[in-house]
Chains A and B, each alone.
Chain A
């Protein structure tokens, strides 16, 4: 494997890891709130959170690009300081985080919905505050499903292209991910490189989905929510 392919893979891993790490807690909390609470405007919030799932990734990318443009609402001219996330790894992280957060949040929500809320109520009657109940009861009981959610989010981050290339560019050495390298290779007919990278992408995706399958099966065997 040539050094530049290796560096592309490493960069993709790095971006996906950082993005998943940043998304993990907010998405889990969001999933919990959507699963357990009713509040005014809940469906609106749920819809906004789900948008990146239904919009084409390039559309999301362009939205972010307009947002952080030099003359955009979060740009240098309007805020006075520069977030400096366009065309560098920070943009890549933001793009992948935006695309994977809804996936993690929805999976987390489904996981929490599968846990009997009366168990949390029981923890409260035993003297635990809402916060403690969440960390010491809800999370551990949901850990399999949450792990699957995080893995899904990581996989999504690994494969993210449309939004990433738009806001972070496809800059070899800086923001060129596996998906970006495949795109570039295909555009010029470099089939060998494209195929090789495809195999990598397929392998990673396959392993990830397999592990989520195994995790969910394990849950059924143990009979979690009682």
Chain B
């Protein structure tokens, strides 16, 4: 909350999420899918009837919630990373092309951005869910289609102003090839912005993926996802409050941390750009 100070808490939360994603199976006290009907519906350890063997309690099949949240981190992070790299790549490329070449290329790409932005993301996901097999691939595709416009719009604007700068003009006069100008001169100048966008996108993607998985259109069981856990827990909302609070807290913590870190990066490295 204090302006200007590095958000250590957020960085720590993101660090924990990343460690869970990388080393998940080594950290989980129980197998994410290990069923133990004897221990089903155990509340969290601090509540009445809880046990420290299951710190965050168990679900209706006696599966450990903490282990499943850790396992879910891997799915969320994997999807987020793919989505960030692919949508960032696609958006940056199209944005650079639109800004650098201008004219008809710019008109077409700008129109494409408009069209993309006028189809709300979740209905679009419905469409793809209806025609493609559900799972990680479909989720990533939908996220890339939704988020590339983030990058394309911002990059287009940046390149429009970069194009007028001397070093680009010099490179052009010197006969440097277009791919070289993109790679050597434009991309390095965009890196700050791209990093900020990616950090902010991370939290947004995690929420989006959780929503799809909650609807049953995203990650399919037996793969564990935070959204899927919430969908399962929903059936037991009257008897087991921890089933819907714990995975939700994980989503919130990851998203909050990424937003705070992204805000800090933006305020520190790109203070002019308040609208990102």
The judgment on whether A and B are partners is no
- Contacts from B to A (Cβ < 8 Å): none
- Contacts from A to B (Cβ < 8 Å): none
